Each structure stands twice: as structure tokens, then as C-alpha cells.
Amino acid sequence: MPELGRAALVVTLGLGVYALIAGAAAARLGRRRLALSAQNALIAAFVSTLVAAGVLLTALVRHDFSFSYVARTTSKALPTPYTVSAFWGGQEGSLLLWLLVLTAFGAAAVRLNRGWAKSLVVWVVPVFAAVIVFFSFLLVAVASPFATQVAPADGAGMTPSLQNPYMLAHPPLLYLGYVGLTVPFAFAMGALLSGQLDERWLVATRRFTLFAWTALGIGQLLGSHWAYVEVGWGGYYAWDPVENAALMPWLAATAFLHSVMIQERRGMLRIWNVLLVILAFSLALFGTFLTRSGVVNSIHSFTQSSIGAWFLAFIAISVAVSLALVFWRLPLLRSPTRLESPISREAAFLYNNLLLLALCLTILWGVVYPMLSEAVQGESVVLGRSYYDFFLRIFGLPLLLLMGVGPLIAWRRASLRSLATTFRWPTAVALATGATLLVLGAGSSVPGLVAYTFSAFVLATIVLEFARGTRARKALGATSWPRAFTSLIARNRRRYGGYVVHASIVLLAVGIAGSSAFDSVAEARLERGQSMRIGDYTLVYRSLDERQVSNATEIRATLGVMRGDRDLGTLQAGKNAYTIEQQVSNEVGIRSDRLTGEDLFVIAEQIDPNGTVYFRVFVKPLVNLIWVAGLVFLLGSVIALWPDAREQRRLVSREGEIGVPATS
Amino acid sequence: MTAAFVFAGLLAILCVLLVAWPFLREPEPESDSLDELDDAERRRLELLEARDRALAALKELEFDHRTGTISDEDYRAQVGLLRRDAATALRDLERAEAVPAPGGEQGRPVGGRT
């Protein structure tokens, strides 16, 4: 039923246009029923987009190749989960997912906030609607997923590297992140338009921003793991433009989540926060543009298309309008307070923001430089891994240290003597860790050693905070130590959830430092029965097997693995030849040591007809901490995201105090 | 194809009904104006935020001092300032509430239907 899908998208576009015009008119003229009607249009837009998404999903599952999109992205032999994932595997489907998530966020943000922040929500609706109009217009007029054709006997199939379980979750999570950043943007613009630049737009968007940020973070980590196990080059992050496209808005959102605390506590950084929200939203759009336009060469960019110009125009318009609004409202954005001391919590957060922003803009420059150089010189010059690694160390290591310093300094002003007292234990732990690692030989990589030392410092501060807080709660009357611990977290979920997230970043840093600064690699061409060594591992090439599965021919080399005298069993690495797609993929062999977090990583680079195989083998210390960090990150985010009934009561009571009943 | 058009028609009707619902529910309302904050209410909101900010800061300082995160020296330097901020916010709020809002009421009863 492509007609239903097309009609549903036209309805979404119509609703978007109505919400934009009626919402703007209602806000400007102060019309209550018109404002409600515009809000309902956003909710209806979600319903109609859901219908369109249902049509595409049904066509995919039924292998209806009369839909050009279905024929282009799937085949009959494609396993059902990957057939479903084709929804976001191609350009039109992924744009539809963008719109679906966007309308869902729009409906949810309006529904959840129109009770206690209704005078602000009225101005948010037209902003949301403008973004909906852009995406629904693209889907109706430029890149429809409901284009039809005479159905071929079979589809073209899916890019082999996308046929991976991670692809079921990685792209939708990234989209949740990208699109979720529209919520703070829409509320910030609504606040600017209405001149209501009080705290409400921050409170209304806090959880949405945190949710989007979490989704973007987890999505990237899943993408890294996908690259690690599927792409088969031996790493998890290659500073690829499309990978960077997801990292940049995440960094901007990270900066915002920190600086917003300064605004809430001290009323400072109002302009800065609005600018960060604009930056994060623009970078989310830019990320979609990079992934979908085909302007960059990337292993993650699976489409070449004509939507790039539309995206660039929309980004340019939204940035220009947003900055004009900021300029217009500058008098209202002035902060009532100033930074009192360079040694204070707000100063530490500010340094954190500057470093995050510097890292973000450095990466942005690395992404756009090849495009600019091609436009100016006619030749695309790519900034390589060393460029990014250098700036990651320059900005990343101080950021790591600040994660431990910031939360323990007093607001406004801290004395140097107090700092010495506060940080004596974490410093001692860090120095002891650094010295021990130096003795154990970790001095071969200075940045790696510094990262470990700083990580120890941060971990010590986090443990100290939890221990002191729990002790204080116990002294304040908690009946047991576990109850004191849980009450500590429950009473300030944002703060202690934040510490858990910090702990995950430490794990990430340790995993990255271990696997990149202290890894080893060996290569050898082996015949059956021959062996090779790497570190204290010995690998013996035993056999080569071939088998046919539904959509590919699998070739696997089996290696026996020994560590010293201990037999660790076997490991398989090889290639898959995909029949329909006419492509070959590397299928790596990985043996993880759960105790040490180390991986033995084997790539069968070349398999000769006579059975000789060219192997490349890596040993990656601590790499599994990166994936553990993802779980800890999720835990911390969930703690921070958990609804806080006390805060809700406070907001409702505040609305009541100014005489505006907080009802929906 | 006919079924598709029927479903599309139903979807369009449903959406139109949803959008028109505020007008259908209240064809002739007593008031159709938005509950927007006037200047006095905005000022009151700012003062309430300042009060909550100061009280939250005091509460956090007390707890951080109790845990040992904030030293005695920093605590002594901060607590007076924060208490003064809180007292100022409360006093400003009282003053603002003493000034009659336009229409002679403190905090007008602004609907609540939106």
C-alpha cells in the first residue's frame, strides 16, 4: 500500500505546516484554542508518521519488491532481523526514522511540559513544527521511501557489513540521539522568541537532553563494537568522518549538560548555554548530512544522494535564525552574577566546557578540511589519525583530570589550602598508581601512563565521594549502610548518577589507552601446521573449512591458541562471500580474556586457493573495558534520568506561587 | 488501492478532528486568551528561582561540609554569603508579593485550561 504511506507523509507535512503557522499565530496573538490546536497537530503528526512507518515496515517484512526502497535494500534470502533493520539501512528509510522520532519527541515534549510550562510550550510548537516541515517535505518531494516500480524477482540485498546484530540497535540509537537534541533546541528557541529566558526551558529539556546524550553515547559505543568485530581492520574507532559526525554533537551536548548546572546554580553562562544548544542541534543535522549526502568517503556512508544541498540550506537557515534570535535577546541573556575566582567549581566546569568545545571544533575542522581543500585547491586533503590523536591527548587528558577536580571544589571560591586537603588522598592514589605502572614498564607510552595516572585520580575522588556521602547519610539516621548508600543516590540522582558516568569515562579512557598505546601486532603467511607468536601467545594454523549459509559462503581458518604452556582452545577467522551482493567481508576471530580484559584479535587478510592464509594478529590489552564502560555509562545515565518527584513538586509549587495553575 | 485510499481518508479525518478538537470542545469560550506571564509574574518567577537556587546551594554546602568534601575554611567563607543570598531572595520575594499585581490581585487566576 505505497499510496497509504505517501498519503500519511503528506498528512504529516500538512500538519507540520499547520502547527508552524497556527502555532506562531497563537503565540503572537495570544490565542488559547489555536495554541492547543497547534499542539494537537504535533501529536497528530506523530500518528500519521507512525502509519507511514508501519507501511514501510510491512513492505519490508513481506518482501514487497514493488517498493523500490525494499528492492534496493533487501533480498529474499536476507534474514528477517536484517530485513527489519533495512528500515534505516537506506537513505529514505533513515529519513523516515528521523521524522518518526522527531514527531514522537515533539508530541512527548509538548504533552509532558504543557502543564507546568505552558506559556513557554506555546512558543516551542512552531519551532518543532519547522523542523518537522523540513523532514516531511524531504520525504514527500525529494526522497520518498514509497516510490514504486515493477517488482523484480529478488532484491539487491544489503551491504554485507550491515548484516550484523549491532546494526539492529546502533543506527536507531544514533537517531534517538541526533533527533533528541531537537528538544533543547526547540525550547531554547521558544524561550528566545518569547523572551521567557528563566530556568524553565532548562528544566523542561534536562531529561530529554540527557536521554538524547545517553542514546548518542551508547549508539557510538555499539557502532565502535560493530566496527571492531565486523569491519575487520583491528580497531574500533578510525576518526572516520561519519564516526566523528556522531561524536561532535555528543561533545557539544556534554559541554551543555555541564554548563547548564552553572546556570541553574549561579545564573551564569546563559548566552553560552543557548549557543551550545544551537551548536549541538546544528552538528546533529550536520551528522545526518554527512552520513546521508555522500559528500565524504566513509565505510559508514552507504548512500550517494541529492539531499545534501537541502540539508546544507536548512543548517544554514537554522544557524542564521538562531544566532539572530540570540543577538536580539542579548539584553535578557546577561548574567546577574560573575565568576568570582578561577579556583571554583564553576571555573572548573568552564574549563571543562572550553576543552570539550576545543576538541569538538578540532574534530569539525578535521571533517570539513578535505571538503574545503577540494573546493579551494581541487584536491581533497585528508587529515589523518595523527592529527586527531594529537588533539585528543592535548584536550582529552586535561578533561580527564578535571573530571576528578570539578565535583570536589567549592562553588564561588576555594582556597588552595582546602584544595590540598581535599585532594591529598586522590593525589596519593594517582601518584602511587603512576609509579607502580612506571616500574612495571608502562613508561613506553607517556600519554598512556598519564591517562592511567589521571584515571586513578578520578576513580579515587569518585570512591571518596560515595564513601563520605554514605557515611554522612548513615550519621543522619539511615538504618543500615546499604540504605544509607541508596538514600544518598536517591536524594541527588543527578550528582551521583553523574559520578557513575564519570567512572564509565575513566573505564573508557583506560580501555582506549591500554588498547592503543600498549597494543602489539604480528603478521605472517602460514601454511597448515605452521605457527606464529605474538607476546606470550602461540597460534597454530590447523585447518580451512568452507560452508554455505542462506545468504553467503563462509570460509574459516581454524587456529589453535596457546598461552605459554596452556592450551586456550581454537579461534576461527575468515571471510564471507555474499552471493547476491557480490561482496566479500572479513570475519575476524576474537578471544577475550575476561579476567584481564585483553583481546587476541585475528584477521585472515588473504586466503589463497592452495589454503595458505596471511594472518594479521593483534593483542589489545584492556580493550574490553571500553565495552564495560558502556554498561556503566548506561547505569549512570539511568540513575540521573530517573524522575525526581521532589523536583516535580517544587516546580509545580513554584508555578502555583506565581498564580499559574500547573494543569494540563 | 481502494483500501489504501479509505485508510488514508480515515487517517486524514482523524487528524483533522484532533486538530479541531479545542474548537469543537469549546465553540464559544468565556476567554480565548493565552495564560501568558505578565511582567510582575515574570519578576516573581525570577525571584522564586533565585530563592530556590540559594536554598539549594545552602543545602548542598551543608551536606558537602558534613561529608568533608568542603573544608571548614571554605564552608566558613561560603555559608555567610549563601545565607545572605537566601535572605535577600526571600526579602525581595516578600516585597514583590506586597506590591499588588495589575487588577489588584497577587498572582492572577489565569485559567489553567491550556
For A177-199, how does the pLDDT look when each residue is reduced to its tens digit (9 = 90+)? 999 999 999 999 999 999 888 88
Which among A194, A280, A190, A291 is positioned nearest to A240, based on CA atoms? A291
Residue-wise pLDDT tens digits, A123-135: 999 999 999 999 9
What is the complex's ipTM, to 2 decimals?
0.80
Q: Compare CB distances from B22 to A37, A118, A469 and report the shortest one's residue.
A: A37
Enter the pTM of the model. Answer: 0.90
* B100 inside 8 A of chain A by CB: no
Looking at residue B103, what is its pLDDT? 47
Give the number of other Cβ atoms within 10 Å of residue B85's Cβ.
18
Instruction: Give A401's contacts (C-beta < 8 A, 6+ positions apart).
Output: A454, A457, A458
CA dihedral A334, A335, A340, A341 (to 10 degrees): -80
What pLDDT does A217 receive? 96
Contact A267 B53 (CB under 8 A): yes
Q: How far is CA A632 from CA A462, A622, B63, in A?
A: 14, 16, 26
What mean pLDDT do residues A111-133 have? 90
| In the block, residue with C-alpha cell 528509510 | A93
Average pLDDT, stretch A457-485? 93
Weakest mean pLDDT among A83-87, A113-117, A195-199: A113-117
**What pLDDT, on a 0 to 100 scale, did the predictor assign at position A662?**
46
Please state, in angstroms and rounded to a whole number, the distance separating the CA atoms of residues A499 and A16. 40
Q: What is the pLDDT of residues A549-582, one digit of tens each?
A: 877 889 999 999 999 889 999 999 999 888 777 7
A151 near B CB under 8 A: no
Q: Does A43 touch chain B (CB under 8 A)?
A: yes
Confidence of residue A501 (pLDDT cuts 50, 70, 90): very high
Across chain A, mean pLDDT equals 90
Which B residues, 5 through 44, put their C-beta within 8 Å of a C-beta on chain A? 5, 7-8, 11-12, 14-15, 18-23, 26, 29, 31-37, 41-42, 44
Q: Count of A–B CB contacts within 8 Å? A: 182
Q: Does the pLDDT of residue A154 top 70, yes or no? A: yes
Q: How far apart, in whole angstroms, are the C-alpha atoms of residue A332 and residue A193?
A: 11
Cβ distance A32 to B29 less than 8 Å, yes or no, reads: yes
- Note the pLDDT tens digit of each residue in A404-454: 999 888 888 888 888 888 899 999 999 999 999 999 888 888 999 999 999
What does the alpha-carbon distance between residue A634 and residue A646 come to, in Å, rounded to a whole number?
23
Structure confidence at residue A299 (pLDDT): 52
Q: Tell me the three cell numbers of residue A528.
A: 597448515
Interface of A with B in 9-28 (CB under 8 A): 11, 15, 18, 26-27
- For residue A654, which residues of chain B lie inside 8 Å, CB to CB? 45, 48-49, 52
Grid cell 533493520 is found at: A85
Nearby residues of A601 by Cβ (< 8 Å), 6 or more positions away: A234, A588, A589, A590, A617, A618, A619, A620
pLDDT, residue B93, reads 83
Average pLDDT for A375-399:
90
User: Chain A contact for B99, CB < 8 A?
Assistant: no
Using CA coordinates, name the residue in chain A closest to B96. Answer: A658
Give the chain A residue whose CA is nearest to the CA of B32. A32
Which of A549, A272, A239 has the alpha carbon at shortest distance from A383?
A239
* Domain ranges across chain A: 1-158, 520-620
Predicted local confidence at residue A659, as pLDDT: 60
Q: How confident is the model at residue B99 (pLDDT cuts 50, 70, 90)?
A: low
Look at residue B113 and tell me whether its pLDDT is greater than 70.
no
Q: Which residue has the cell 526551558?
A: A201
Q: Residue B19 and residue B17: Cα distance in Å, rounded?
A: 5
Q: Do B7 and A1 touch (CB under 8 A)?
A: yes
Per-residue model confidence (pLDDT) at position A664: 38
pLDDT band with cut points at 50, 70 and 90 for residue A57? very high
Query: For residue A556, what is its C-alpha cell?
Result: 574459516
Q: Are B21 and A40 in contact (CB under 8 A)?
A: yes
Max avg pLDDT among A49-63, A296-310, B76-90: A49-63
- Evaluate whether A332 touches A262 at the Cβ level (below 8 Å): no
pLDDT for the residue A128: 95
The verdict on B94 touching A (C-beta cutoff 8 Å) is: no
Please state the rounded mean pLDDT for residues A272-291. 93
**Interface touch A267/B20, C-beta < 8 Å:** no
Cα-to-chain-centroid distance, residue B29: 25
> Distance between the two ends of chain A, CA-based, in angstroms?
38
Poorest-pLDDT segment among A113-117, A283-287, A336-340, A645-649: A645-649
Q: How far apart are the first and last CA of chain B?
A: 40
CA neighbor of A461 nearest in space, from A417, A499, A490: A499
The tens digit of pLDDT for each residue in A621-649 reads: 999 999 999 999 999 999 999 887 777 77
CA distances to A59, A107, A139, A183 from A93, rounded to whole Å, are: 12, 21, 9, 22
Q: Which of A122, A468, A471 sits opposite B34 (nearest CB)?
A: A122
pLDDT class for A300, splitting at 50, 70, 90?
A: low
Q: What is the pLDDT of residue A147?
A: 93
More confident residue, A59 or A479: A59
Listed ranges A116-120, A310-314, A319-323, A643-647; the one with the highest mean pLDDT: A319-323
How far apart, in whole angstroms, are the C-alpha atoms of residue A533 and residue A558? 16
- What is the predicted pLDDT for the residue at A530? 94
